[in-house]
Amino acid sequence: MRRTPTLIVGGGPAGAAAAIMLARAEAPHLLIERTRETGDALCGGFLSWRTLAALERLGVASDDLNPASISRVRLFVGDRTTEAPLPAPAKGVSRHRLDTLLLQRAIDDGAAVERGVAVRAIDDEVRLDDGSSIAADALFLASGKHDVRGLVRPAAARGNDPALGLRVRLGPAPGLTRLVGDAIELHAFDRGYAGLDLQEDGAGNLCMAVHRSRLQEAGDPEKLLAGLARDHPQLGERLAYRQGGGLDAVANVPYGWRATEGVAGLFRLGDQAGVIPSLAGEGMGIAIASGVSAAAARIGGGDGADWQRAFGRRIARPIAVAGVIRMLAENRATAPLLLAAARLFPPLVGISASATRIPHEIA
C-alpha cells in the first residue's frame, strides 16, 4: 500500500486546479486519473468571465482556450426568441481542450500526476482496480458526475423524475456559425432544455437536460431528438448540422444537490460538492473554484469538514437561482413568461447571469 499526504481522485478541472495550487505551494500530493488520454466530457463547455479570470491566474490564457468570445444570451421558447448581452465576454470551449491545458499546467508546475489509475472503491483507503490501494491524510474527490463506491451521493438528490444529460455535436459549418454567432443559446421545452454554443474549432456543443419521463414518452434519445426537431423548428434547424450519429448520455444527474456537511479529511470538489443546473453555465466555475479553495484550505491546515460546510454555503445562492430559472424554463406554462420578462426588461438576463456565478478566490 502506498501513502500520500493528499490524494486527488480525478484529473478534470477541479482536480487539476487543486493540483496546481498544491504544486505551487510545494505541498506533497498525488493526482490519479482513470483515463490515459484526455477525452471530451459530456458538458461544461461554457466559461464565464469570472471563470476565465480564475483560469488566467492559474496560468491558462483565455485565447489558448478559444480566440472567439461569447457576448450574448439567446433564449428560445416555442417559436419566439429574444436575446440580451452578457455582463462580460465568455468563452465556449471543448472539455478536451480545457482539461488538456489545465492538467498540463499542473504537470508543468510540478504536480505529481499518474494516469490510467482507476478507483474501484473508497473506504479507509482508496482501492484501485489493479488490487492495490493508496492511503492519504486528505482525500480530494474530484470524480465529476460519476460517483465512487463508498462515497456515493444520496439517491434522494435525484428526485422522482431525475434528469438525464444528453450531448450531440454539430458542425463545424459556416451555416451553423451564422446561426449561433457570438451567442450562447438556451432552447426551452417541456421538461427539459438545450444549451448551445460554439467551441474553439467552430463545432457546436449542444447539451440537453431532459427529465426521464420525457425521454420515456419519446421512446429513446433518437426519437426524442426527432420530436424536438419537429416541434421546435429553430432547434431543428441547428440539429440539421449534426455530424454522425454519436450521442453521449449520463443518467440521474442530481441538479440542485450540494454537500452541506463534511467529513474530516474529505474534500468533495466540483460536481461532488454541488451540481448547478447546466443552463447556468457555471459547472466549470464551481469546479475550478472548489479546487482552488480546497487546496488553499489544505495548505493552511484546514479540515475537510469545515471547508465543505463553508463551500456549501458559498454555492447555495448560485445553485438556488439556477434552480428557479430551470423550473420556469422546463414548464410549458411558465417558460413563455420567462421569455416575456427577458423581452420587457433585458437587464434581467445579465442580472440572472451574474446571480448564478460563484465568487472566485485569488489564486
Residue 356 falls inside a structural domain: no
Residue 40 falls inside a structural domain: yes
What's the predicted TM-score (pTM) here? Answer: 0.95
Buried b (16+ CB within 10 A) or exposed e, 25-64: eeeebbbbbbeeebebbbbbbbbbbbbbbbbeebbbebee
Residue 86 falls inside a structural domain: no
3-state secondary structure of 273: coil
Residue 81 falls inside a structural domain: no
The phi and psi torsions of 102 (rounded to 5 degrees) equal -70, -45
Which amino acid makes up residue 293? S
Predicted confidence pLDDT, tens digits, the chain (363 residues): 899 999 999 999 999 999 999 999 999 999 999 999 988 887 778 999 999 999 999 999 999 999 999 999 999 999 999 999 999 999 999 999 999 999 999 999 999 999 999 999 999 899 999 999 999 999 999 999 888 998 998 876 677 899 999 999 999 999 999 999 999 999 999 999 999 999 999 999 999 999 999 999 999 999 999 999 999 999 999 999 998 777 889 888 999 999 999 999 999 999 999 999 999 999 999 999 999 999 999 999 999 999 999 999 999 999 999 999 999 999 999 999 999 999 999 999 999 999 999 988 765
| CA-closest candidate to residue 115, choices 37, 42, 41, 39 | 37
| CA-closest candidate to residue 185, choices 249, 238, 250, 255 | 238
117/121 Cα distance (integer angstroms): 12
Q: DSSP assignment, residue 25?
A: T
Residue 169 falls inside a structural domain: no
CATH number at residue 6: 3.50.50.60
The structural domain count of the chain equals 1
3-state secondary structure of 231: helix
Q: DSSP assignment, residue 359?
A: P
pLDDT of residue 254: 92
pLDDT of residue 25: 98
What is the DSSP secondary-structure string of 293-358? HHHHHHHTT--HHHHHHHHHHHTHHHHHHHHHHHHHHT-TTTHHHHHHHHHH-THHHHHHHHHTPP
Residue 323 falls inside a structural domain: yes
Residue 261 falls inside a structural domain: yes
| CA-closest candidate to residue 30, choices 107, 143, 96 | 107
**Residue 133 CB neighbour total at 10 angstroms:** 18
300 contacts 27 by C-beta, under 8 angstroms: no
3-state secondary structure of 24: helix
Residue 29 falls inside a structural domain: yes
Which residue segment(s) compose the domain that 102 sits in?
2-65+94-157+256-331
Q: Look up cell 420525457; give the residue.
A: 214
pLDDT of residue 362: 62
